[in-house]
Structure 1
Amino acid sequence: MTTSETAPIDRFDPNDEPLPFLNNFQDVFLSIGVIVFLVGIMILMTMTSSSIANETSAITAMAVMCAVVLAIVWWLSEILVRRRRRILPGIVLFIAFVQLCIGLYGSGFALIFGEETVSQFENGEYPGFDESVFEGAEPTDKNFRAAANMAVAAIPLMAKIFMLGLPLATLLASYFYYRRFKLPFSVAGVATAAIGLLIVSLFFAFPYDVVRFAPVVLLSSGLALLVAGIVYDMKDPERVTRFSGNGFWLHLFAAPLTLWGAMTISTQGLIVDFPALAEGNFTDFKNPFTVQQSIVTLCIIAVFGVISLLLNRRALVVSGLVTAGIAIGVIVQATGIGGAGVAAVTMICLGGGILLLGIGWNAARRALLSMVPSAGIWGRVFPRNEVDG
């Protein structure tokens, strides 16, 4: 006879958004082992390379060790990710794989084209970049654009190639890892690396405009990842295949970029007015810690909450918790409450809001979805899974 103690666990509700990075505690156990093992290898690599006096020999040794450890990481990925489908250890191995590929790229670039270019970047310097061109420029967009073009044009070609190669190496490493192991987390690596490569390329072509329109670039990057996540969600509205995992990570990476892009635009506008900044004019910049701007911030987060409900993805809401807490704190402080009372009331409001949204998630989704067409593309973008009430 089946009792409540022996009854099988119910299948997960898709509306609960299962986590696509943890199967069971074995994943945690294996991840700890992988991290400790790789950290030990990294320490050994650093000790070995630093003990070699000749710089070229040290870089060669580092490149060889990166290649050897890459082979080990790939072998472990074959066992843990491809065969046993261990997700959390796969994420750790993927991050190590990408970092090792970047290290191998940097070492190889230094050996072929000289270590001076790479070492300058490691020291926080930018070869050929001359900031002095901005000092004598009259604070106008035309002059600043010309100065930025001159400064970027002065960067040596090999330095530009090296900078472009960093996101490209990340993109290729992420792509090949995903092709082999179908790890959902690596899709986010592919997407973010592709955006990074595009931004670096645009920066070399239009340096001043890319920096000037930084709020738009930030928001556009987040929206691009968000759309990519929605595309994967449309392939798996029931959230049972790896496409759902792909969408989860894309939404998680998109959330902070989209939120902070929207927040930056609300405080600074679509562009950064460098001529005004150069003259000390900050009138167009709104203080993010005023009551009025805090209310705007909460309204933006509320819009993101509605989108999260429609998509049945909580990442957009989670990404705004810290910002929402700060905004609530500013509003609470304006009421005259001081000291620990501000923290207490803020945490009560923020925690209560999270609880209300979590408990009423399904009911709120039903209410919102009743206003959206259930057929066609909208029915696929906003899935209507069975809810538990």
Structure 2
Amino acid sequence: MYSESDIDAAVAAGAITPDAAASLRGHVASLRGAPAVDEEQFRLLTGFNDIFVSIACLLLLAAVAGIGGAIAAVLAPAAVAGTAWGLAEYFTRRRRMALPSIILLLAFVGGVAGTLGVALANDTIGNWIKSLSSDQNVQIGVAALLAALVAAATAGAAWLHWRRFMVPITVAAGAVAVVGVAMALIVGLIPPARNAVLPLVLVSGVAMFAFAMRWDMSDRERRTRRSDVAFWLHLAAAPMIAHALFNMLGVFRDQIGLVQAVVVLALYMAFALVALAVDRRALLVSSLAYVLFALYTLFQQAGALELSAAFTGLVIGSALLLLSAFWHAARRYVVALLGGVIAQRLPPVQMLPA
């Protein structure tokens, strides 16, 4: 399986002509019944060898973590980070294997975060924090600042990995770490903000969504690595927005009422419009659990106690399948409503050849 960036690389290398690449894209689009820009492609597997290598990498990383942890707790994540970087030099930089690259990136940044986290989460640091002041707010603030330090180091590690290997998910990992830095600093320096974590998460999610759109708008045709970067950023932003927003509405906290359920369904429809406009499905997937619960509650309140789960699956499953089947037509309608200025910044609505 080849991605859009692979085809562009082949054109740049002279392996195929630009006309041949355009013909290939048109042929694949006609077979799929949708233009390539609407397929939201990203590379996860280049072949079954990706799965084989990924399993081997996970086994090796688990082994070095166990050996390092037997020597000292801090060596377990440090060994994982070092091993992941070394493996990436071959499987990512030379072989360009998709799934192993993702696993090794997550192992590296997680190892860096874990190393600092374990180093700071010890009795010496805890006693030092307690010795600074007996005020609990001060203690929480210092702990939050240390957490910000760990998140900042993680963001720096992600930046170094990006500079070396250019794995698309790296930008999302770094962005999440930056959000962690901001959240920790705000919570540490502004005590009242500790009671407003969900709004902060929502604002962070919206900011990451805007960052994802910046990458998306730089590659409207979705033919380069920038589109893959935007995909992972959207995938990181969506759960922040959905989780914060629906939890602020009290979903899952108690038995929601009719009004709350209707609001959840209305928000999901709004998410669908946004997803159609930007041609990204992450928001719909991230908020799916909440709308399933809301619709399930509505069916229960209507008296369908035994079949409420079945009816919920039937309605939502059918709606999502219909949306998928008519995605391109629905996009064309939504983008037309937004007007020319906004449409020029969104992925183009392409007409299929007859």
Fold similarity call, TM over 0.5: yes
Task: Show the counterpart of 1:278.
Answer: none
The higher radius of gyration belongs to 1
User: Does residue 19 of structure 1 match 2:42?
Assistant: yes
2:228 alignment counterpart: 245
Tell me the secondary structure at the aligned position of residue 44 of structure 1: helix
Q: Normalized against structure 1, the TM-score is what?
A: 0.75
- 8 Å CA contact 2:140–2:188 kept in 1: the answer is no
The residue number in structure 2 matching 1:91 is: 102
Residues of 2 paired with 1:221 and 1:94: CA distance?
23
> What is the alpha-carbon distance in structure 1 between the residues aligned to residue 265 and residue 59 of structure 2?
42
Match status 1:73 vs 2:81: no
Identify which of 325, 328, 336 aligns with 1:370. Answer: 336
> How big is the alpha-carbon RMSD for the aligned residues of Structure 1 and Structure 2?
2.9
How many Å separate the matches in 1 of 2:173 and 2:214? 17
In the alignment, what sits opposite 1:45? Answer: 68
| 1:237 counterpart SS class | coil
Question: In structure 2, what residue type is equivalent to 1:225?
Answer: M
The share of aligned pairs that are identical, in percent, is 29
CA distance in 2, matches of 1:367, 1:76: 47
Correspondences of 1:187-206 after superposition (within 5 Å): 187-206=171-190
> CA separation in 1, counterparts of 2:276 and 2:313?
23
1:78-117 Cα offsets, whole Å, 9 max, x none, are: 111112211211111111111221233346558xxxx424
Alignment match, 1:153 = 138
List gaps (5 residues or longer) in structure 1: 1-7, 50-57, 134-149, 269-285
CA distance in 1, matches of 2:167, 2:200: 28
Task: Report the Cα offset of residue 226 of structure 1.
Answer: 0.5
Task: Give the match for residue 329 of structure 1.
Answer: 296
Larger deviation: 232-241 or 8-17? 8-17
Is residue 128–residue 156 contact of structure 1 (8 Å, CA) maintained in 2?
no
Do residues 103 (structure 1) and 114 (structure 2) align? yes
Structure 2 length-normalised TM: 0.82
Tell me if 1:312 matches 2:279. yes
Residue 128 in 1 paired to residue 93 in 2?
no
Letter in 1 for 2:317: G
Distance verdict in 2 for CA 1:384–1:156, change over 3 Å: closer
Query: Contact conserved, 1:298 with 1:324, CA < 8 A, in 2?
Result: yes
Per the alignment, residue 346 of structure 2 pairs with 381
Distance in 1, Cα, partners of 2:180 & 2:266: 29
* Alignment pair present for 1:116 and 2:145: no
C-alpha distance in 2, partners of 1:261/1:107? 28
For residues 249-291 of structure 1, the C-alpha deviation after alignment (integer angstroms, 9 at most, x for no partner) is 11111111112232244459xxxxxxxxxxxxxxxxx956212
Show the counterpart of 2:14: none
Contact 2:141 2:187 (8 Å CA) reproduced? no
Aligned counterparts of 2:345 and 2:93: Cα–Cα separation in 1:
30
1:102–1:218 Cα change, 3 Å: closer
Retained in 2: the 8 A contact 1:362–1:387? no
**Amino acid across the alignment from 1:324:** V
Maintained 8 Å contact 1:175/1:190: yes
Q: 1:156 to 1:225 in 2, by over 3 A?
A: closer
Give the number of aligned pairs: 323
1:349 aligns with 2:312: no
CA offset digits 1:180-205 (Å, max 9, x no partner): 11111111111111111011111111
Aligned residue for 1:274? none
CA distance in 2, matches of 1:198, 1:153: 18
Contact conserved, 2:51 with 2:99, CA < 8 A, in 1?
yes
Residue 387 of structure 1, CA deviation? 4.8
- From the superposition, tell whether residues 228 and 129 of structure 1 become closer, same or farther in structure 2 (CA, over 3 Å): farther
Question: Unaligned stretches of 5+ in structure 2?
Answer: 1-23, 30-35
